[in-house]
Each structure stands twice: as structure tokens, then as C-alpha cells.
């Protein structure tokens, strides 16, 4: 039986990404709420996918209330509170999540941390409602709204589509520079002779197949 999200332990990747967002936000004085955390992680995953990399957080994003979300983030938050690493306080109509304990060594690569840093710098100062509206305009969320609430978001839709036009033009230019190709008339004679030589073998194979079918 599959483990429920409440009992399943979060992966090191999710924990590292979650704590990195809190640390980067604290450096800039940004408030991070539960809703905002989900949207920042989601946008970071999209940024990684657009760059041809794998999603950073590893969260299975679904279209739930307020856009991309996964209930496992709530259970991770509870675990981090119990460990004294984060603190949760009421903040207007939501809850603010703050990093208060020692930040464990990150398991993320430097490139992944750089993406998180860019996303937090660009979007961390926005209100959670603005991030929610922004997330609804992303390709995976547009697709999800056509399929129905609760579906898993297809992050691959954020991957850049290959640009075949320049490649086609380069290949055409190469073909244009090649010398004129001429077919050797003797090639057809060789093909005809080869087919004649293989005739007896083909007949024997056909007779054997017909014999097997009787």
C-alpha cells in the first residue's frame, strides 16, 4: 500500500529547496507565506525545466486551491517546526513561515541554488496573490485548467520547443555547396545481378514457409 503524504518522509531535495527559499528570502527581508512558498518553488522548477534541467524541488505539482500545490509541503512544514528549524506565525489571512534554526548543509548543486536565487530575487517581493495569478498563466497550469482540478501538472510543457528553421536553413546551405552527384549506370546492373543471384534462395525460403503452413 502506498504511503500517505502525512506519513511519507520528504526527500532531501524537497527539504533543501524549501529551506533554501526561506534562507534567500530572509537575506532580502521578504515575507514567505505557505502559499508563497509553493509558488516560488513551482516557479523555480519551471525555470530549471526551461533551461533543460530537471525540476529542482522534485515536488509533484497538482492544480489544487490557489494553483500549483502539493499537500506534502504542509507535512514538511510541520516536521521542520517540530525540529525547531522553522517557525509559523499568522500573517493576515495566511501563515508566515520563517527560518529560525541552523540551516543544514544543502544537497543542491550550485546551478540549482543559482536558479532559486534568481527566482527569489525576481518574485520574492511580490504578494502571494500576485504569484498565484502569475502561476495560472504558465503553460502547465493552462493545460491543467483544460483537464480539471486535481490533475498533476505537466512541467515538460515549459521546455522550449526546438527551433527547426535555422537548422533547416543550415542543412540546405550545406547541400547547396555539395558537388553535383551523378548516379553510376553500372549500379543498376549490379543490383539486377544481385537480385538474380538471390532468386533461388528466395524460392527455397518461400517453399519452406508454404510447407510449414500446410
Domain regions of the chain by residue span: 12-158, 164-213
3-state SS, residue 112: helix
- The dihedral region occupied by 179, where left means phi > 0, alpha psi between -120 and 50, and beta the remainder, is beta
What is the pTM assigned to this prediction? 0.73
Helix (H) or strand (E) segment spanning residue 79:
helix 72-82
DSSP E strand boundaries for 34-169: 62-64, 67-69, 86-91, 94-99
Q: What is the pLDDT along the chain (214 residues), one digit of tens a residue?
A: 333 344 356 788 999 999 999 999 999 999 999 999 999 999 999 999 999 999 999 999 999 988 999 999 999 999 999 999 999 999 988 899 999 977 878 889 999 999 999 999 999 999 999 999 999 999 999 999 999 999 999 999 998 876 556 656 776 776 667 666 565 666 566 667 777 777 777 677 666 655 655 5
The β-bridge relationship of strands 94-99 and 86-91 is antiparallel
Amino acid at each position: 500500500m502506498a504511503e500517505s503524504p502525512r506519513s511519507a518522509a520528504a526527500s532531501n531535495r524537497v527539504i533543501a529547496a524549501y529551506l533554501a527559499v526561506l534562507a534567500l528570502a530572509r537575506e532580502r527581508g521578504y515575507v514567505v507565506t505557505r502559499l508563497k512558498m509553493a509558488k516560488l518553488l513551482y516557479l523555480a522548477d519551471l525555470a530549471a525545466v526551461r533551461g533543460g534541467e530537471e525540476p529542482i524541488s522534485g515536488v509533484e505539482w497538482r492544480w489544487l486551491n490557489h494553483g500549483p500545490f502539493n499537500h506534502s509541503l504542509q507535512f514538511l512544514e510541520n516536521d521542520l517546526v517540530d525540529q525547531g528549524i522553522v517557525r509559523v506565525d499568522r500573517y493576515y489571512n495566511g501563515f508566515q513561515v520563517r527560518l529560525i534554526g541552523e540551516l543544514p548543509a544543502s544537497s543542491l548543486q550550485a546551478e540549482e541554488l543559482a536558479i532559486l536565487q534568481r527566482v527569489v530575487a525576481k518574485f520574492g517581493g511580490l504578494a502571494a496573490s500576485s504569484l498565484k495569478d502569475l502561476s495560472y498563466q504558465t503553460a502547465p497550469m493552462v493545460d491543467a485548467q483544460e483537464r480539471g482540478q486535481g490533475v498533476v501538472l505537466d512541467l515538460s510543457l515549459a521546455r522550449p520547443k526546438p527551433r527547426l528553421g535555422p537548422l533547416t536553413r543550415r542543412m540546405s546551405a550545406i547541400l547547396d555547396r555539395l558537388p553535383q552527384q551523378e548516379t553510376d549506370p553500372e549500379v543498376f546492373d549490379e543490383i539486377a545481378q544481385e537480385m538474380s543471384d538471390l532468386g533461388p534462395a528466395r524460392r527455397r525460403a518461400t517453399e519452406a514457409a508454404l510447407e510449414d503452413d500446410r
